[in-house]
Amino acid sequence: MTDATPTDPAFVAGATVEVEQVSVWFGQKVALSELGCSFGPGVTGLLGPNGAGKSTLMRAVTGLIGVNTGRVRVEGHDPRRDRSVHRRIALVPEDEAVPGALTARQLVRYVADLHRVADAGAAAERALDAVDMLPAADRRLGGFSKGMRQRAKVAAALVTEPSVLVLDEPLNGADPVQRVKLVDLFRRLGAGGRTVIVSSHVLSEVELLADRVLVLIHGRLAAAGNHRAIRDAMDDRPRHVLVRSDDPRRLAAALLDVDTVAGVSFTGTGLVVTTDRARDLALALAPVARRLGVRLREVRPLDDSLESLFRELVR
Amino acid sequence: MTPKGDGAGPAPPTTPAAATAGGVRPRSPLAAIVGYTLRACLPRRRGLLVLPVVGAVLFGLLSRTVDQASATAFARVGGLALHTLVLPITCLVIGDALLGAEIRSGVFAFTWLSPVRYSTIVLGRWLAGCLLAVALLAPAAAAAAVVAGAPSSAGPAAVAAASGAAAYLALFVAIGATFKRPVVWSLALVILVERLLGAALAGVAQLSPGWLAQAVLVGLTDTASDLHRDGVPHGWSAVVRLALVAAVGLILATRRLRSLRPASAAD
């Protein structure tokens, strides 16, 4: 664990997982390119489009694949070479592959036995209970829905009480109620001192889930920090603000004369103002409306969510 | 981990020592792997596993058509069919399920992502395969000998089938850990290397589980001397050679696991 206090948002103080200039390629395809970042206690969200390298990074962190250049350390150890690391780290893989002939209880118990967990039966019960799987614990995994398989895999990961938990799209297929419960579970695990790394395509959930976000694009780190910090780091990119008023046409014409406004367009719900400096726009908007006698009904940034950040980053 | 509903956050991370201290004694990982393999990895349609038994008995019956002493006729027809067809095909099906199929599907990650040593993983998988193969093939070979009218060959036939299966499974586990299409490579080993090259070259036959299993049967029974191949050990010497082949296969599989990149279903 490093004690340095990094200034780069890609790195954290007291990191338990360190990724140093890591490149991974499969034949001609580069999956990760000189990626550097670190993870510490708490929940970190990993975002990126398909093929961005999220799963590759997670597999490298857990030692499932080796890296071509650079190095990965989990609590100071190489997860690829040092098998003892697996006592402290667990992965919930994205794919649906499970041993279909086993029941959920048998799978969790098997993982507990491999890790020599004391009183594995009781530990398996607790892990299954944590993901609400006890009622279905004695059903075969082959008959489970996607969401139930995911929960069974989460239980199998939790049974070893890992200090580093890597979750690749863990909410896939979960129903809304289970999503809320799993999000709550992961947050509690992070708050309890575990390093939780979670990837998801459901970005609104990551906003709720993660204290910190890393955005991967084409195997490179595109942004890091909380989602607002990432947005601030992108100030040179245009932002879009929805402005609803009682006279959008007059307001639009006046806004075109404001320096900070790069463009205006009409939508069914109002004006969409494009600006390079959102703060200046906010200061200028009210005086312009007052001068025109136009009543503002709503002013709302359209791209402050992770979804919109994501769209901009991959554009 | 804190049980759900206690209102508190999860317990802080425990060290491995804390996790294993006190309480119920943890189960051996080797035993866990053997149990898991028998439950999860072996072919779903287990009724098909009766086929080798049926085949062995039929080949035993076929031996009766040869106009020679029963033991010789069984070694020449039934034994040969057992060791060139029933034994390798049965072991190929079981051997692929032990490791190769799991690696291809991505399920192997559950085992690989554990602190268990690679050698323990390989040994556990192989032991489970051996348990099943021996339970199937040894009685089948003995039954074939009895059906062939050579009950004195039942014991040697069972030993030959068991030792041959152990060697075959080790090789197929190694192939499963090495190649993306282990069934193709396993068939190539059996058909091209063992049957074609092994028939012509004693040096190949000396390391071939099929030829060595036949040599076990021939050596442990009173059969025609023309069935003895020069340069190929017979009887218990062949059993020892098969054990060596199995050991080499297990070592290769263990080494291969070190550099394995377990696939995900998306790969």
Cβ of B10 within 8 Å of Cβ of A194? The answer is yes
| Structure tokens that stand for A205 in this block | 């959930």
Q: Supply the DSSP symbol for B27.
A: P
- The interface predicted TM-score of the complex, written ipTM, equals 0.82
pLDDT of residue A304: 60
Helix pair B87-95, B209-220: axis angle to 10 deg: 130
Q: For residues B216 and B220, give the distance between their C-alpha atoms in angstroms, rounded to a whole number.
A: 6
Give the β-pairing of A220-225 and A212-217. Answer: antiparallel
Instruction: Give the residues across from A37 on adjacent strands.
Output: A19
Among candidate residues B265, B109, B257, B264, the one with its CA nearest the CA of residue B173: B257
Count of A-B CB contacts under 8 Å: 151
CA atoms of B20 and B14, how far apart (whole Å):
10
Q: Strands A195-199 and A42-47: what pairing?
A: parallel
Q: In which element (H, E) is residue A122 found?
A: helix A120-130
User: Where do the H-state alpha helices sit in chain A?
Assistant: 54-61, 104-114, 120-130, 146-158, 176-191, 203-209, 227-233, 248-255, 278-292, 306-314
Contact between B9 and B2 under an 8 Å Cβ cutoff? The reply is: yes
Nearest to residue A204, comparing CAs of A307, A94, A302?
Answer: A307
Predicted confidence at residue B2, as pLDDT, reads 39
A101 alpha carbon, distance to own chain's centre: 32
Looking at the partner chain, which of B4, B11, B27 has a beta carbon nearest the beta carbon of A129?
B4
Distance from CA of A167 to the nearest CA of B (A): 14
**Across A225-245, average pLDDT:** 73
Q: Residue B88 has what pLDDT?
A: 93
> Nearest Cβ partner of A114 from B16, B44, B116?
B116
Query: Which of the four pLDDT bands, split at 50, 70 and 90, describes residue A151?
Result: very high
- Give A212's strand partners: A44
Under 8 Å between Cβ of A159 and A90: no
Long-range contacts of B237-240 (CB under 8 A, 24+ apart): B238/B163, B238/B212, B238/B213, B239/B159, B239/B163
A48-75: per-residue pLDDT in tens?
877 889 999 999 999 999 999 999 999 9
- Candidate ranges A244-248, B78-82, B168-172, B199-203; pick with highest mean pLDDT: B168-172
The type of residue at B182 is P
Average pLDDT over residues B91-100: 90
What is the pLDDT, as a whole number, of residue B80? 83
Give the residue, A259 or B253, on which the prediction is more confident.
B253
pLDDT of residue A312: 62
Mean pLDDT of all residues in A74-102: 90
Measured in angstroms, the CA of B41 and the nearest CA of chain A are apart by 8
Place of tokens 């969790």: A108
| A162-176, A216-230, B10-24, B204-218: least confident range | B10-24
Token readout for B93 is 């099906």
> Are A217 and A315 a contacting pair, CB within 8 Å?
no
* Residues B171/B172/B178/B180 CA torsion (nearest 10 deg): 160
Q: What is the mean pLDDT of residues A216-228?
A: 83
Distance CA B122, CA B106 (A): 17
Torsion over CA of A80, A85, A89 and A92, rounded to 10 degrees? 40
A residues 212-271 closer than 8 Å to B (CB)? none
Tokens standing for B19? 């996790």
Whether the per-residue pLDDT at B195 is higher than 80: the answer is yes
Q: How far is residue B74's CA from residue A243's CA, in Å, rounded to a whole number?
A: 92
Contact call for residues B5 and B99 (beta carbons, < 8 A): no
d(CA B137, CA B164): 10
The A residues from 121 to 180 touching B (CB cutoff 8 Å) are 121-123, 126-127, 129-130, 132, 156, 158-163
- How many residues appear in chain B? 267
Identify the pLDDT of residue B246: 96
CA–CA separation, B9 and B3 (whole Å): 10
* Nearest residue on chain A to B13, alpha-carbon basis: A163
